[in-house]
Structures are given as C-alpha cells and as structure tokens.
Chains A and B, each alone.
Chain A
Amino acid sequence: MSTVSGRTDSKAALPGAATRRSGPMLRWLGTRGPREFVLRWVVLFALFIGWELAAKAAESPYFPPPSEFAARAAELWLPADGTWLTEATANDVLPSLARMFGGLALGSLVAVVLGVAIGLSRRLGDYVDPLIQFSRAIPPPALIPIFLVLFDRGALMRVLLIAFGAMWPVLLNTIEGVRSVDVIKYETASIFRIGFADKLVRIVLPGAAQKVFAGLRTSLALGLILMVISEMVASTGGIGFHIVQAQRSFQILDMWAGILLLGVLGYLLNLVLTVVERRVLAWHRTTNREIA
C-alpha cells in the first residue's frame, strides 16, 4: 500500500526526492537479470514453504496453511468446468472492479479538469486551496455515514466515495504538473496566437502527463482501499463484503482467500499501470533527453 493519503508522491519534502523516488520504485518492480529473477523466486518459494510448515505446526484456527486458502481462492474465482465466469466472480469481483474503475475514472476526470484550471490560474488556486487541503485531510472512511445519508446505500454512493477519496493525488499532481510546464513554450504558443484548446492539448496536458501518472499510481492504490472500505459497510456484495461476511461467519479460509485476491489485484493493477505509463510516456523520456 503505497499510501492511504496520497501525500507521498507530490509533496516530497526534499527537492528532487519525488523524481528520485519513482526510479527505485520502477526498478523494484522488474527484475534485473536472471540471477535476481532466480533469487526472487527462490525466496518466495522458501517463504511459502516456511509459512505452510509453520501454519501446519501451529494449527491455529485463524492461520490456515496458504495452500489451503489458495486452493479455496482458486475454487471461488478461477474459471473451471467450462464456465469462464464463476458465480463468485460475477457476484463479488466484477461489481467491485466496475465500481472501483468507475470511481477512479470519475475522480481522475474531475481532478484533471480542476487541476488544469487551478494550475493555469493562481488566483483560482488561492481561492480553493484551503478547501482542497481540508477535503483531502478528511479520512475517507469518516465520510461513509454522510455519504450513506446523502446518496443512499446503492452503487452510486460507493462510486462517489471512491471518486472523492481517490481524486486528491491526481488533483495535486496535475496542479503541480501544469505549473511546471515550460513558460517559454506556453508563451511562444501565445505569441503565435495558437488557440487555447490547442495550447491545452499540445502543451499543457503533455507537459503535465508525467505528474498526472504519478498521481494516478497513488490514486489506484487508494481506489482499491476505498473499494474495500465502501463494501465493508451496509453492503450486499463485492470483495470487501465477501471478506467481512467470511469473518463474521468464521469461514476463515474464505476470508484469507479474499485477502489473497486483494493482494493479487493490487499487484496486477500496479503492474498494468507501470506498463501503460511506460508506453504512454515513452516519448516523454526521449524528447526530454534530446532537449537536455
């Protein structure tokens, strides 16, 4: 979990810390060379065996061996018997993911639009800054009672909660990204009387893209957390609901299977974003190198 808060990437206290931070992160994701690859899998395998043996020896009702809950997870969610979609996947995983991506899409869209506006106009930024600082300081779960009253307990409330809670990293990074756009580029465009829309699409947005992606990465982790939280209260479906329900009925295997599923989802989402980021921002690195 990189952050609940989203205060990690954009607001590093030291100059350059933010950029330095993205480097090792990326490198930690992919292995360098076969030796590291082997080492990594050996370690993971040893960990798994160790856990398995420890769990079998301890016989604690709360810590089943990983092989058992992994099997349970596979049974629940992996396609089997010719059906591509198991019932549990259709009931829990897909609605959860739909709400999460819906919330993230809505939140990011609002955040980028607001962020560009605030980034371009310092005056607007001054007016809304305290409101933004305050809103993002509210722990999102504390908003659940209010959101329940305002939007009822349907999917809308959950999507809005995810959107509201996950938008701040994108918003702050977009503001920062837009403000960091080369003034000369922007003013050159103005001199040549290039229209506002063109400036926006060709100068401001590409200039801010890298920061926006950094924000998205944090938002993605937040979105997953908020998805789970939103499903733990007054819910009838979803992965979070599955886990809470399993805990309340002492289906320990189901609970662990749910935790495993969330871990896998978190890993995959981060991986996908890294790949997308590399693709989308590939030009960024090359152009910047040419200039520098």
Chain B
Amino acid sequence: MSAITSRMVRKQSGRRRAGGRVGRGIVGVAVAVLAAQLLSVSGAISPTSLPPMFEVLGSTGHLFVDPSFLREVLATIQAAVTGLAIATAIAVPAGLVLGSFRLLNQAASAVVEFLRPIPSVALIPLAILLFGQGAQMKVSLVVYASVWPIFFNTIYGVRDVEPLAKETARIFRIPPLRVLTHVLLPSAAPFVATGIRVAAAIALIVTISAELLAGSADGLGAWILRMSSGGANLALVYAGTIFAGLLGLVVNWLLVRGEQRLFRWRREGVGAA
C-alpha cells in the first residue's frame, strides 16, 4: 500500500516537474529565436550573413510540405538506412563470433585497431573514386562508419552473458546453434540495440557529410550545398540546416523509444536484481 502511494506521489511530482521542464524549455527556445531575430533586424549581424529568424522559421515550415525537398530527404534517409542495414548484417555476426572466442578476439583486435582510427570522412575521396557521386558512394561510407559501434556493442553484449547460463548450456550439451539463439542473442540484444542507435545517428551524419562534400546529385546535404552556392537563398540554407537538426532529433528520439519498448524486460530485470 505504502509502496503504491509513494509510487503515485512520485509519478505525480514527476509529471509536474516534466510540465515545468517543458515550459522552461519553450521559454529557452523562444528567447534564442528572439535574440537571433534581433541580432539580424538590428543589423548587429548583417542580414546577408544571418537572415531574420522569423523568415528562416517560415521557410523551414514550408520545407515540411515541399515535395521536391522531401524527395531529397528521402534519398538521404534511404542511403543511411541501407548502409545501416548492411553494417548490422556485418557487425552483429562478426561481434558474436569474435566475442565468443578469446584467441580470435585477440587476433582481430589488432586489425580492428588498425582500421578504426581512420576517420570515415578521410575515405570520402576514395569512395568518390570507386563509386562516383551516387548512392553507392554514400552507402559504402555509412557502412564503414556504422560498423564500429554495432560491432563493439555486440562484443560487450556477448561478454556480458551470464556465465551461469553459458555453463548450464554447456553441461546440458545444448548444441551451439541453440545456445546462440537462446542464450547469446537474447542477452546481447540490448547491447546490439544500443550499438544500432548510436550507429544510426552516425549514419545520418555521414550521409549528409558525404552529400555535402562530394556534391551528390540528391540528398539533404546536396540540397543545402545547392542553396548555398547561389548566395541568394541564405534563409533556405538556414532552414535546411534546421531541418537536418530536427531530423536528427526525431531519429534519435524514435530509436531511444524503440529501444526502451523492446527491452523493457531487460531494464526491469536489472532493477529487480
């Protein structure tokens, strides 16, 4: 009974606090927008460098219903998702195998350490040479960049498997495939999910970077680049950048929520233990 009431109280105060947070957050954003508007209108920063913020926000609003712009965004998302899927298909099996065998792990760590410090953007010129400026170039870069977080998290996940479960499986001579599907995978899954969430943010950034730096034919980054090359569409450049930020926020939010939903059992398990 007391546990229930205390939980209710906590819930209520949590809600009140959340309400206060949202209110303050709105105030913070409003102040920032107003400040930017004033900086531009007052001439403190030339409107040719910083267009009036209200105008920028108006343009951002229009972008949400502009079909040709949304097609560009779709191209970006498509490349990022494709790359992410391929990276997952590579990194999860690799992580499962390398996490399970110590000697293999040690041998592979040398190779991994050799490759990992190479920043993905350093490979943009190579990718352009090999694949041109199209979707293939973007996807290949996304794969390279997002393999690492998924790979490392899978390895941590495999190492995190309850030793008792592994021993039990061994004692009962459970075949390796069943151990994989019934012990290793369920236990490592939350880690893999974290890896994919981190990788998704990276995938989006790498895709937009590649579009911008390679001058792709389509995509959000290419669109921003095209708008900025004329010079007259500065408000649209700002609007596109704000859109990119919002897109990143939404993607991250969706993934965090998805992760929480999928692995609620896991969090409760940890809490109970």
Contacts and interface: CB of A to CB of B under 8 A. Distances in A.
A127 B25 CA distance: 5
Contacts of B25: 126-127, 129-130
A143 interface: yes
A24 B121 contact: no
Contacts of B240: 142
B109 interface: yes
A145 B225 contact: yes
- Give chain B's interface secondary structure class: helix
B122 A131 contact: no
Nearest to B103: A39
B28 A15 contact: no
A137 B245 contact: yes
B190 A14 contact: yes
B49 A20 contact: no
Contacts of B155: 24
A133 interface: yes
Interface string B50-67: 100000000000000000
A283 B58 CA distance: 54
A47 B125 contact: no
* Contact residues on B (Cβ < 8 Å of other chain), bracket: 35 or more
A3 B5 CA distance: 43
B78 interface: no
Nearest to B237: A145
B97 interface: no
Given A4-B120, A62-B126, A126-B24, A13 B111 contact: no
B25 to A, nearest CB: 4
Contacts of B198: 3, 5, 7-8
Interface string A225-266: 100110011000000100110110000100110110011111
A146 B242 CA distance: 11
B121 A232 contact: yes
Contacts of A130: 25-26, 28-29
A25 B156 CA distance: 10
B60 to A, nearest CB: 12
Contacts of B248: 137-139
A7 B240 CA distance: 23
B118 A1 contact: yes
B36 to A, nearest CB: 11
B86 interface: no
Contacts of A247: 125-126, 128-129
Contact of B249 (A47, A137, A225): A137
18 contacts: A8-B149, A14-B194, A20-B160, A24-B159, A28-B112, A29-B113, A43-B111, A126-B24, A134-B246, A142-B224, A149-B48, A149-B237, A228-B122, A229-B209, A244-B125, A247-B125, A259-B126, A262-B117
Given A129-B28, A146-B228, A229-B213, 13 more contacts: A2-B116, A4-B120, A13-B194, A127-B31, A130-B25, A130-B28, A142-B224, A150-B50, A233-B213, A240-B122, A247-B128, A255-B129, A259-B126
Pairs of residues from A and B, 6 with the lowest C-beta to C-beta distance, nearest first:
A266-B117, A137-B248, A247-B125, A145-B228, A138-B245, A126-B24
